[in-house]
Structure 1
Amino acid sequence: MDKLHERARAIRLAIFDVDGVLTDGRLYFMPDGTEFKSFNTLDGHGIKMLMASGVETAIISGRKSPLVERRAANLGIKHLIQGREDKLTALSELRQIIPVEMHEIAHLGDDLPDLPVMRRVGLGMAVASADAFVREHAHGVTQAVGGAGAAREFCELIMRAQGTLEQAQAAYL
């Protein structure tokens, strides 16, 4: 088994960034100042399958958006921290609520503010469209880009390593 799967086997908490990970990273603003984001349904279902397999999930985002609150609620993600550039401090706060060891945490990110967390957790991965420096320092890089299946790939990697993916998929046959 390769090192990525070894790391993924221990994961009990998966953390996702939003812009550039759960979305394609583009920010859309309407003339009246409202914004909208595009989320991928494959990513969403991957997150739901991961949660059903027993892995906790959370979002830590540097920006704050009611759209992210709605998406997290829609997916059943209970732990949402927004508007936090210092993601390492946010992770520390999250660990007060979810008692897990650092090696039991996975993080999927795309930009420099994600790196402090990605470098300290058990499985720090970057999306294919991530900043080159971030990709270079990640434990692994998804084949898919942010907002287009990268989160699903990340979830399935964890589930495959933990032996829960085939059973989750079989439920649909």
Structure 2
Amino acid sequence: MIKYIFLDVDGVLTDGAIIYGEHCGEIKNFNVRDGLGIKLAIRLGYEIFVLTGRNSNVTKQRCKELGITNVFQGLDNKVKIYEEIKRKYNFSDNEAAYIGDDINDISLLKKVGFSATVNDAPDYVKDVVDFIVPVDGGKGAVRVFIEEIIKRNGQWEKVLSFY
């Protein structure tokens, strides 16, 4: 049973575009459906972790809004931090899921119990995952990923009872 959910940011929680404004700094586009999916997972007791290669105040702000306290930015090696987290929380790979979209995600995608990527990921990423989300990054892909985990864990009826 999946209990620990790991998320990439750029290309997964966003469409991968990064806009720099002269007076407003960095701008990223997050999808509200992903936010609700994350909040549902937290409400059900899942631990959510964000792992990203970039450092971004915008990402930090979005995670704070969603209640994600485990945010790791500026990572060169996502497997290394994953292994540290795994030791700290004492879980097995089979209890973890990860969604990523690029070459720097492949090692972790191969390690976790349930791996996924977005519809617009390169084929070499799609070739190593368990599940290809049928939407592009930034278009609600994380929501679909989380709903798939919830359904596989037999908790969908519980989610429906919330509303």
TM-score range, shorter chain: over 0.9
Query: Per-residue deviation at 1:160?
Result: 0.8
Counterpart position of 2:32: 41
Query: Per-residue deviation at 1:144?
Result: 1.1
Query: Per-residue deviation at 1:52?
Result: 1.1
* 1:66-77 to 2 correspondences below 5 Å: 66-77=57-68
Q: Give distance in 1, aligned partners of 2:24 and 2:125.
A: 31
TM-score, normalisation: structure 1? 0.90
Counterpart position of 1:27: 18
2:100 maps to a residue whose letter is G
Q: Give distance in 1, aligned partners of 2:87 and 2:23.
A: 39
Is 2:127 aligned against 1:136?
A: yes
Q: Aligned match of 1:159 in 141, 150, 161?
A: 150
Query: Per-residue deviation at 1:143?
Result: 0.4
Query: Per-residue deviation at 1:19?
Result: 0.2
Matched residue pairs, number? 163
Counterpart position of 1:4: none
* 1:15-164 to 2 correspondences below 5 Å: 15-32=6-23, 34-164=25-155
Counterpart secondary structure, 2:2: coil
Deviation digits for residues 41-96 of structure 1, max 9, x if unmatched? 00010011011112111000000101111111111112110000211111112223
2:34 maps to a residue whose letter is D
Counterpart secondary structure, 2:59: helix
2:73 maps to a residue whose letter is Q
2:87 maps to a residue whose letter is Q
Counterpart secondary structure, 2:127: helix
Q: Give distance in 1, aligned partners of 2:76 and 2:35.
A: 24
Q: Which runs of 5+ in 1 are unaligned?
A: 1-9
Runs of at least 4 residues of structure 1 off by over 4 A? Answer: none
Q: Give distance in 2, aligned partners of 1:145 and 1:169.
A: 25
Query: Per-residue deviation at 1:33?
Result: 7.6
Deviation digits for residues 11-44 of structure 1, max 9, x if unmatched? 1100000000000011111135811111000001
Over aligned residue pairs, what C-alpha RMSD do you find? 1.2
